[in-house]
Structure 1
Amino acid sequence: MLSISIAFLAGVLTLQWCAGLPPVWAGVAVAVAVLPLLRWKLTRLSAMFILGFCWAALRAEYALQPELAPDVEGKTVVLEGVVLGMPRQLSARRLRFLFAAERLDNGHGWSNFSTKVRLDWYGTGAGFKFRPAPGERWQLAVRLKRPHGFSNPGGFDYERWLFQQGIRATGYIRKDRERNRRLAAGSVSVISQFRNRLMSAFDPLQADRPSMAMIRALTIGDRSAISPAQWDILRATGTSHLMAISGLHISLVAGLVFWIARRVWLRCGKLTEAIPASKGAAVIGLVAALMYALLAGFGIPTRRAFIMVSVLTLAIVFDRYTSLFQAIGLAVLVTLLIDPLSVLSAGWWLSFWAVTIIAFIVTGRYGRQGFAQKWINLHVVLAIAMLPLLLVFFQEASLVAPVANIIAVPWVSLGVVPVALTGTVVFAINETAGGLLLQLAGVLLDTVWLLLEWLSRLDFALWRQHAPVAWTLLPAIFGLAVLFMPRGLPGRWTGGLLLLPLLLVTPEGPAQGEAHVTLLDVGQGLAAVVQTEHHTLVYDTGPRFSETFDTGRAVVVPFLRHQGIQRLDTLVVSHGDNDHIGGAASLLAAYPAAEVLSSVPGEVPAVRAHLCVRGQRWDWDGVRIAVLHPVNGDVLSGNNASCVLRITAQGGQSVLLTGDIEHQAEQILLREQREQLPANVLVVPHHGSMTSSSRAFIDAIRPDVALFPSGYRNRYGFPKQVIVDRYADSHAATDQTGLSGALTVTLTADSGMPEVRRYRETVRRYWQPKNNH
């Protein structure tokens, strides 16, 4: 069973690397053709691989329908459908909820549009006159766009996440009193109503006790209220998994109910004569697990855990011996048959890999040991075995995870969760008593939280590094197999040596005299990273969108870690607009820069910055970086005071970074720095607005390539088509971060045209819209 499941998984996974999907008829024909091959052992695994590929392709084709038409994007249309789940209050003026759209009117009549949409509703003042509730049918005037997110090396793949969640469009609700109206009252299940009651009860409790946000996650599976600071502590201590209702919590509920039910069953003689106690208790335990899963929203981790528990339970009921590894293989196969797209989730891989390692430990591979020793060994082995996957998905791993989990897992699983679930049951009968029990669970969690906070503050708590180079994963997997072979076999220590390339081999960077200049995709804003052989400079950090989200934290820092950059030599903040300085605080918190320059040094947060002035320069590894603007003593301010940098490789290839300079600053540069302006690549000033890129300025630079740092379908309409045409008229190739993702310019030590790589082209996948223009 395990080998069959692995073959099917390999086929499903192979599809996820494809840029397109095969025709439906081809997938069906191939699947039917290989079915007879399942009869023979020699061809069975190959057949399962092909079937996995075809099944995933068919499900993916279904998941991609319907697609929002490009000509509908950005236009006001009317949707009709049903509210899914409880709306989230993101701020005093902003609600977010999922909407099961059924039909759409784009001004030419209604058409079918059966898909899931994520909508934001912006209110006025402190509240909303109309607040949607789960199950209600609404008509809404909205503006939609196809799934789109930042596209950068090392960054979160938002488009992949939306696809996996079944969300085919995002948007916001327009102010329209006539068309925004409730059509029918809600009709939701009893469990959904109870979940909504619990959510409402948690809101006031969280204000006084922040830990109640985590109790909320443990009971109803809603993790949206957990703060970024709390997530930081959970990540640093390797205990994030405790906040997911997955195998640990589902199996705990099933096992606890099974134990109680079996003891009660054995006391009932007639029941025992009719049905064996183990079988009856197993069914009751499974029902309890199902109720908990439904209460938690039956999300992907919960669904996966319930399938695993179901496999073991049904084995007991039908008297079928099933080893843990057979159960794991069957659970993998069933989850992929139900949802082959779950392999796109890091949680799927981490969960099944962790369960496999636990099975390896508990099946006696380490001989006879006392419980305490086995418990300690379990968490040490898990920490080592999870390392490759954690580095692949997150580029970090907790070094204090064994200590944290040895204490936190039993405390949360055997103390916090039972009290919280008891409180949930009591809440259904008496809200006051239930609320007190839920608060008691919060007190218990606060106790262990003190330990987690202390561990997270240790300097060595979290290991961060680059994304592993692809070839290092194979020796790492082989090394783990050698390292965890049974005791007594010689040479097990050599497995540790095979893990070293995973940690020590860094991504290939620029050579002497070369530079990589990456214009990152930060939406409507600017952030660029200049790398030489041994140095790194960051030019601007993109916007800050809210108190909890900015592109310094979400884009720039992950990119630097992905590239294996350990230290930041210089940060240049061109000027003080949010779309350039917004991510500076987060970047400097993660990478304290040796030098910070800006045209507004007083506005750069938490550091002592210096003024950028013409004449400043760095000669790094054969690459020259020079500040061309502003001049010391200039009275310019705002956009026209932006720091302008010229990067020149050893062979003369160059890039010009211009910030948001407008015509006034362009004229100063033309008058005083004309001989320094010619460049192969120009990062177009002010995102391609009408206030910049005069013909005289373009003629002086004579760029081969003009790159626009502009957001996809941004509200300003940047870059303006007139400006794009102006660069095209000068025979410059043009590109935009909002369309192509991160743009990396390679300046070599040779003369000639530098190479420009488009990140979206290198990671093209079938779920990405084909023409995101």
Structure 2
Amino acid sequence: MARGLSASLLSQRGQLFGWVPVGLGTGIGLYFALRVEPGAPAYAALALVTLAGFWAARREGPVLSCLGWAAMLVAGGLCLAGLRAHAVAEPVLGFRYYGAIEGRIVKIDRSASDAVRLTLDRVVLERMSRARTPTRVRVSLHGEQGFIAPVPGMVVILTGHLSPPSGPVEPGGFDFRRMSWFSGLGAVGYTRTPVLMLSGAEPDPALWIYRVRMALSAAMQDRMAGEAGAFAAAVTTGDRSAMPARTLEALRASNLAHLLAISGLHMGLLTGFLFALTRYGLALVPWVALRFNTKKAGAVLALLAGAGYLALSGGNVATERAFIMVGVMLVAVLFDRRALTLRAVAVAAVIVLIRRPEELTGPGFQMSFAATTALVAVFGGLRGVRIGPRWLQPVISVVLSSLIAGLATAPFAAAHFNQVSHYGLVANVLSVPVMGAVVMPAAVLAAVLAPLGLAGIGLWVMELGLRWILAVAKTVSGWEGAISHVVAPGDGVLPLLAIGALWVILWRGRLRWGGLAPLCLAAALWSQAERPALLVADTGGLVGVMTPEGRALSKPKGDGFSAEIWLENDGAPMAQDAAHDLGAIRRGDLADVGPLRVLHVTGKRALAAVEGCGGADILVTNVDETGERPCVMLDLLALRAAGAVAGHVEGAGLRLVTSRGTTGHRLWTPEVAEVTLPRVLAPGPAARVAGRAQ
């Protein structure tokens, strides 16, 4: 067995570098899966494991060497993620705040409710010390505004509400609190009073670039009316604040939303177009072609253009990731190496993971590297193989690349967004060539002609292409059965999918088909995924009960974000009032959840009118209850400590799970009183759940 394992590893020589980001990613994933923040002893032990792995990696024998590399990479990934988490630590607001807010505008965008949203730094809060004040806050603007036009760099004052970033709306769900921690965002809130200018924009170089971006976005929207102008601003400057909600929905339903975000496709099209234009344009001049390497000249110009595009688009994470991937390939051209290889993709992944380990858990990283890896692997395997007649090759390439990228990203898109677009291939075949052959070249043409005052020529051509893409999105999204919704998968599904697919792609030999086993297991686990029978919002203001017709909600409005996410994760999105009309649970009425009864009341008067627990096993309320009641009491005090609560029917009882129990005690979780819930709650009398200090 040892000899066979050694021979198998030796057969992989030259192919093992692709496993480096897999090892790093495994360590990073383990860090985020921990329930307790590692301390100094844990990091000391990981350092020893890393050193031991380094020693083993230098020994003779492929088995020991590979084991050493694996241990070193996994331990290194854990340490890397922990270092990043501590490095970005900033104060987080620990309570609900209402009062004066002062800060400098560093970002302007729009919320999901289409309200203008300002991100402020250099924050000053009334009667709060600098040490406790968040470095950055985000405020949505409601009510009558219009006194000033917000400009990046402007210092503003306002009166508003702030609160700490919220945790998951259900146990195991998306953790906005963790994302905010790595974004340096210490509080979020809103204002209904006018925002006033305290001082004008400051000459900060970083904000100067942002002001140029916003000015360019406004100029493009002035030259192109309506949705086309908003689309043009999004793909050139990253400003999506003007995109109407219905257009965004049509792009998502037709699987064309990736055209809106400045990511690998846009960066690749821009740099590829400039690379080809420079290389073949210079080749037309014999004197230049005979004396200079036009291929490398094209790579240098494309690299500089990509860097400029990165700066112009705001340098967000997706664009940064795309630039790294394109940059690695262009540098490979400069050093006379093949650009499109799995090794180049692995190098880009390693750089991204070292810079921002938290990206591993996001849909952007997963989908972009899934698509790129699959495309490089499949087209690498088809090198030298011609499918169909030569004149049809461009069409076949577009169809094949859209099919491969769509299949590779579909599981990750379904897991994160709970929907599958059935006609995405058709929409992409009709739109991606237009983006590559019309929109991006026209944008370059407009930039070249702008100093001559002729940018309108390029913008006119660009508008034609964008209107075609929008028409395709609206048409395809309107087809019957354009999308279907899926249930959110369990925690182990995506890791199994990733490791299975990577094993099939990276391993050489017959053993590669062993990767189908984890893929099949992931599919089986996903198909058997069960949703909680009971969900309770961390505010105590909303309760959801699963029924054969879908999840019934206790009220028709309020806590809308929690309601929307619950219904999406169920794979059955509907309007909140429609979910309330299912009638399985209503405020003030008893509801059956498995073998137990649940009562939801809101407000102090309604709670005071309930005698005991009103016949319920679980009483949920959005106020603090100071008295003792003979049931499990999920009041506001308990829910602030426990977070959202889920209940799963188990035997003759209900297994209760809290968000705090799934996230654990991490850097981004607040230090609050801890709540102990019964693991499995059976029918009958139960003691009141009380918070106890840590």
TM-score bracket relative to the smaller structure: 0.7 to 0.9
Which residue of the partner structure matches residue 646 of structure 2? 744
> In the alignment, residue 770 of structure 1 is paired with which amino acid?
P
Which residue of the partner structure matches residue 665 of structure 1? none
Which residue of the partner structure matches residue 417 of structure 1? 440
Preserved contact between residue 104 and residue 155 of structure 2 (Cα < 8 Å): yes
Which residue of the partner structure matches residue 135 of structure 2? 115
Select 2:34's aligned residue among 2, 8, 18: 18
Select 1:64's aligned residue among 83, 89, 110: 89
Q: Take 2:213 and 2:32, find their aligned partners in 1: how far apart are those partners? A: 34
What is the 5 A alignment of 1:360-399?
360-365=377-382, 367-370=385-388, 371=393, 372-399=395-422
Which residue of the partner structure matches residue 539 of structure 1? 553
Q: CA separation of 1:420/1:583 partners in 2, compared to 1, >3 Å: closer, same or farther?
A: farther
> In the alignment, residue 757 of structure 1 is paired with which amino acid?
V
Which residue of the partner structure matches residue 636 of structure 1? none
Q: CA separation of 1:529/1:768 partners in 2, compared to 1, >3 Å: closer, same or farther?
A: farther
Preserved contact between residue 522 and residue 543 of structure 1 (Cα < 8 Å): no
Q: Take 1:332 and 1:497, find their aligned partners in 2: how far apart are those partners? A: 22
Q: CA separation of 1:253/1:381 partners in 2, compared to 1, >3 Å: closer, same or farther?
A: closer
Aligned: 1:706 with 2:651: no
Select 1:312's aligned residue among 323, 329, 348: 329
Aligned: 1:647 with 2:592: yes
Aligned: 1:466 with 2:487: yes
> In the alignment, residue 646 of structure 2 is paired with which amino acid?
T
Q: Take 1:255 and 1:471, find their aligned partners in 2: how far apart are those partners? A: 38
Q: Deviations over 1:370-413 (max 9, x none)?
A: 42434333333333333332332223222212222122111112
What is the 5 A alignment of 1:274-673?
276-321=293-338, 324-365=341-382, 367-370=385-388, 371=393, 372-424=395-447, 426=449, 430=453, 433-434=454-455, 437-438=458-459, 440-469=461-490, 502=523, 506-507=527-528, 517-521=533-537, 525-531=541-547, 536=550, 538-540=552-554, 543=557, 552=563, 554-561=564-571, 583-584=576-577, 596=581, 644-647=589-592, 649=594, 653-656=595-598
Preserved contact between residue 420 and residue 484 of structure 2 (Cα < 8 Å): yes
Preserved contact between residue 109 and residue 241 of structure 2 (Cα < 8 Å): no
Q: Take 1:31 and 1:410, find their aligned partners in 2: how far apart are those partners? A: 49
Preserved contact between residue 158 and residue 193 of structure 2 (Cα < 8 Å): no
Which residue of the partner structure matches residue 72 of structure 2? 47
Q: Take 1:416 and 1:321, find their aligned partners in 2: how far apart are those partners? A: 28
Query: 1:57 Cα shift?
Result: 0.5
Q: Take 1:21 and 1:496, find their aligned partners in 2: how far apart are those partners? A: 33
Preserved contact between residue 402 and residue 428 of structure 2 (Cα < 8 Å): yes
Q: Deviations over 1:262-289 (max 9, x none)?
A: 2344466776677532222211110011
Q: Which SS does the other structure have where 2:336 is aligned?
A: coil
Q: Which SS does the other structure have where 1:701 is aligned?
A: coil
Q: CA separation of 1:464/1:220 partners in 2, compared to 1, >3 Å: closer, same or farther?
A: same
Which residue of the partner structure matches residue 693 of structure 1? 607
Select 1:223's aligned residue among 227, 236, 240: 240
Q: Take 2:528 and 2:516, find their aligned partners in 1: how far apart are those partners? A: 23
Q: Take 1:89 and 1:265, find their aligned partners in 2: how far apart are those partners? A: 47
Preserved contact between residue 125 and residue 133 of structure 2 (Cα < 8 Å): no
Aligned: 1:168 with 2:186: yes
> In the alignment, residue 233 of structure 1 is paired with which amino acid?
A
Select 1:725's aligned residue among 626, 639, 651: 626
> In angstroms, what is the RMSD of aligned CA positions?
4.2
What is the 5 A alignment of 1:236-247?
236-247=253-264
> In the alignment, residue 576 of structure 2 is paired with which amino acid?
G
Q: CA separation of 1:748/1:297 partners in 2, compared to 1, >3 Å: closer, same or farther?
A: closer
Q: Take 1:507 and 1:382, find their aligned partners in 2: how far apart are those partners? A: 26
Query: 1:210 Cα shift?
Result: 1.9
Q: CA separation of 1:281/1:74 partners in 2, compared to 1, >3 Å: closer, same or farther?
A: same
Which residue of the partner structure matches residue 734 of structure 1? 634
Q: Which SS does the other structure have where 2:557 is aligned?
A: coil
Preserved contact between residue 618 and residue 634 of structure 2 (Cα < 8 Å): yes
Moved more, 380-389 or 235-244: 380-389
Q: Take 1:23 and 1:556, find their aligned partners in 2: how far apart are those partners? A: 35
> In the alignment, residue 565 of structure 2 is paired with which amino acid?
V
Q: Which SS does the other structure have where 1:757 is aligned?
A: strand
Gaps of 5+ in 2: 1-16, 59-64, 674-694
Q: CA separation of 1:421/1:218 partners in 2, compared to 1, >3 Å: closer, same or farther?
A: farther
Q: Which SS does the other structure have where 2:255 is aligned?
A: coil
Preserved contact between residue 164 and residue 341 of structure 1 (Cα < 8 Å): yes
Q: Deviations over 1:49-107 (max 9, x none)?
A: 11111011011112232333x25x4253654x532134659999x64111123x64552
Q: Take 1:435 and 1:123, find their aligned partners in 2: how far apart are those partners? A: 37
Query: 1:445 Cα shift?
Result: 2.0
Query: 1:155 Cα shift?
Result: 5.6
Q: Which SS does the other structure have where 1:76 is aligned?
A: strand
Query: 1:291 Cα shift?
Result: 1.0
Query: 1:314 Cα shift?
Result: 1.6
Query: 1:461 Cα shift?
Result: 2.4
Q: Deviations over 1:596-648 (max 9, x none)?
A: 467xxxxxxxxxxxxxxxxxxxxxxxxxx7x9x9xxxxxxxxxxxx6724427
Give the count of matched residue pairs: 638
Preserved contact between residue 522 and residue 551 of structure 1 (Cα < 8 Å): no
Q: Take 1:551 and 1:194, find their aligned partners in 2: how far apart are those partners? A: 37
Q: Which SS does the other structure have where 1:725 is aligned?
A: coil
Aligned: 1:769 with 2:669: yes
Q: Deviations over 1:412-440 (max 9, x none)?
A: 1221222234335545664xx54564354
TM-score normalised according to structure 1 size: 0.72
Query: 1:363 Cα shift?
Result: 1.1
Gaps of 5+ in 1: 511-515, 569-581, 589-595, 599-624, 630-641, 657-681, 711-718
Q: Take 1:12 and 1:520, find their aligned partners in 2: how far apart are those partners? A: 31
Query: 1:29 Cα shift?
Result: 7.6
Which residue of the partner structure matches residue 757 of structure 1? 657
Q: Take 2:496 and 2:116, find their aligned partners in 1: how far apart are those partners? A: 48
Preserved contact between residue 146 and residue 769 of structure 1 (Cα < 8 Å): no
Q: CA separation of 1:308/1:646 partners in 2, compared to 1, >3 Å: closer, same or farther?
A: closer
Preserved contact between residue 137 and residue 186 of structure 1 (Cα < 8 Å): no
Preserved contact between residue 150 and residue 521 of structure 1 (Cα < 8 Å): no
Q: Which SS does the other structure have where 1:692 is aligned?
A: helix
Q: CA separation of 1:8/1:536 partners in 2, compared to 1, >3 Å: closer, same or farther?
A: closer
Q: Deviations over 1:448-489 (max 9, x none)?
A: 433332322233322322234566668766886899999xx9
Q: Take 1:460 and 1:154, find their aligned partners in 2: how far apart are those partners? A: 30
Report sequence identity in percent. Answer: 22
Q: Deviations over 1:566-622 (max 9, x none)?
A: 9x9xxxxxxxxxxxxx8225x59xxxxxxx467xxxxxxxxxxxxxxxxxxxxxxxx
Query: 1:24 Cα shift?
Result: 5.8
> In the alignment, residue 466 of structure 2 is paired with which amino acid?
L
Aligned: 1:34 with 2:50: yes
Q: CA separation of 1:135/1:26 partners in 2, compared to 1, >3 Å: closer, same or farther?
A: farther
What is the 5 A alignment of 1:145-164?
145-149=163-167, 151-152=169-170, 156-164=174-182
> In the alignment, residue 552 of structure 2 is paired with which amino acid?
V
Q: Deviations over 1:483-535 (max 9, x none)?
A: 9999xx9x99x96996597279644659xxxxx6413428574241234xx56
Q: Which SS does the other structure have where 2:33 is aligned?
A: coil
Q: Which SS does the other structure have where 1:698 is aligned?
A: coil
Q: Take 1:364 and 1:162, find their aligned partners in 2: how far apart are those partners? A: 41
Query: 1:302 Cα shift?
Result: 0.7
> In the alignment, residue 270 of structure 2 is paired with which amino acid?
V
Q: CA separation of 1:222/1:255 partners in 2, compared to 1, >3 Å: closer, same or farther?
A: same
Q: Which SS does the other structure have where 1:543 is aligned?
A: coil
Which structure has the highest helix share of the two? 2
Preserved contact between residue 104 and residue 113 of structure 1 (Cα < 8 Å): yes
Preserved contact between residue 86 and residue 196 of structure 1 (Cα < 8 Å): no
